[in-house]
Amino acid sequence: MADYGLSHIIYLWNPSIRMLDLLLATPSTDEDTRSVIGLAYNSQNNDFKILRLLSFFWGQEAEAEAEIYSLSTDSWRNVVITMESLRGYEPNFGTIGQFDPPCIIFNGALHSVAITNRHRFILSFNVNDESFHEIMLPPNDLDGVHVCCTELAVFKGSLAVFIYTDDHWGVLCHIWVMEEYGVAESWIRKYMVPTILNSHFYGCTDNGELLIKTATGLVSIDPESRNQSILAIEDADWVGCTANSMESLILLDGGK
C-alpha cells in the first residue's frame, strides 16, 4: 500500500496474519516525480518483490528508473531503464518519460504502460530474473478518435488493454486481448463497451466482468451482454485499485 503523493512510503500488509511492515524507498526531492508500484511473488527463490517505476521530468528531458525491493534481503536496488537497453539504439523512440498505472502481475511478470515522446508500449518486468522487456500495444486503428486513457488488466486469463475513446458516439471502452502472450500479432479486439464519462476502471472479475466506479458507486459490467449490476458497496470513494487475494502465512520480516 502506498500514497501517490508519498510513494516512497510503502506498507507491506499480510491480512491473513494481521502483519504490517513499513518500507522506505528513496524519497524524491522533485515534485514532478511520478511513480507506479507493483508487487509480485518470485517462485524460483520463494521471495516477494516490489517494483517501483519512477519518472523524473526536467523540462523536455526525462529519464526513467526502477527500484526493486526483495523481501528476503530487506533491501532496495536501483536500475536505469532506457530504450537502448530494451531494443538497441533507435533514436526515433526517444527516452521513457512516463509510466501509467496500474502495474499488474501476469505470467510471472509485472506490466505497466510506458510512454516516450514518440512511442507507447508495455514494459514487462520478469520477477524471477529481474529483466525488462518491451511488449507492443495493439495496432493504432483509432486515428482521429480522442483516446481518454489506456489501462492494463487481466481479462479471463489473458493480458488485456482497455482503451477508452470519446467522440460523438460517447465514451467507448475497447477491450483488446493478447491471445498469445508476448506476440504482438495476437492482439484482437474482443468488445466495444459503452461507458460513462468520468467513470474509473478498477479491474476485472475472474469471469470477465468490468469493475467501474461511477458517480453512483461501484458497478460491474458484462462486456458481452452489456448488463450492469450495482455492487452492494455504499461508498466507493476509498477504492484505489483491485487485485486478487490469496491467503498466505508469509512473514514480512524477510525470515528474520
Domain ranges of the chain: 2-197
pLDDT of residue 135: 92
pLDDT of residue 101: 83
Q: Please give the share of the chain, as a percent, with pLDDT higher than 90.
A: 23
Burial of 182 (0-12, 13-18, 19+ CB in 10 A): middle
**Residue 183, Cβ neighbours under 10 Å: how many?**
11
Among residues 154, 151, 160, which one has the least CA distance to residue 207? Answer: 154
pLDDT of residue 69: 93
Q: In this model, does residue 206 exceed pLDDT 80?
A: yes
What pLDDT, in 10s, does the model give residues 107-149? 999 999 988 777 788 999 999 988 899 899 988 655 566 777 7
pLDDT of residue 82: 72
Mean pLDDT of the chain: 81
**Pairing mode, if any, of strands 109-116 and 120-126?**
antiparallel
pTM confidence score: 0.85
What pLDDT, in 10s, does the model give residues 47-69? 899 999 987 655 445 567 889 99
What are the percentages of helix, strand and coil residues in the chain, rounded to 5?
Answer: 5, 55, 40
Q: Pick the residue with more confidence: 170 or 144?
A: 170
Q: In this model, does residue 90 exceed pLDDT 80?
A: no
pLDDT of residue 256: 47
Q: How far apart are the first and last CA of the chain?
A: 22
Cα–Cα separations (whole angstroms), residue 256 to 15, 71, 76, 251? 19, 11, 17, 9
Q: Where does the pLDDT of residue 42 fall: very low under 50, low under 70, confident under 90, or very high at 90 and above?
A: confident
Q: In this model, does residue 77 exceed pLDDT 50?
A: yes
